[in-house]
Amino acid sequence: NAGVTQTPKFQVLKTGQSMTLQCAQDMNHEYMSWYRQDPGMGLRLIHYSVGAGITDQGEVPNGYNVSRSTTEDFPLRLLSAAPSQTSVYFCASSSTVGSPLHFGNGTRLTVT
């Protein structure tokens, strides 16, 4: 049972480039979310989804897009990368509202 799988593990982008961070879970969880983790800031919610076809914004959504076409996948798109988006990104899922989050191993993104 793989749990939550994120790819890639590391990525370096130049300012203005676009990319998609992939997240997949095999636990049939309805709820999925994206967080970024910065030193001294903790984990901050970017976007989340309560089911296929439904997404909503978290605390820090600007510069990021998401979609949820299947229960399993929840990709995060950076349309035009900026140095302020340098961070570690975590995808997480949970089975029901309020149940504990299961995290992927993270993607370390550097934007130069």
Partner 1 sequence: EDKVVQSPLSLVVHEGDTVTLNCSYEVTNFRSLLWYKQEKKAPTFLFMLTSSGIEKKSGRLSSILDKKELFSILNITATQTGDSAIYLCAVSLNTGNQFYFGTGTSLTVIP
Binding region for partner 1 (CB under 8 A): 4, 31, 33, 35, 40-45, 48, 50, 56, 58, 90, 94, 97-98, 100-106
Quote the least distance from Cβ 8 to partner 1, whole Å.
14
Quote the least distance from Cβ 36 to partner 1, whole Å.
11
Q: Which is nearer to partner 1, 78 or 91 (CB)?
A: 91
Residue of 111, 107, 76 whose CA lies nearest to 89: 107
Q: Which is nearer to partner 1, 50 or 52 (CB)?
A: 50
End-to-end Cα distance, the chain = 36
Q: Which is nearer to partner 1, 17 or 67 (CB)?
A: 67
Quote the least distance from Cβ 64 to partner 1, whole Å.
16
Q: Which is nearer to partner 1, 41 or 79 (CB)?
A: 41
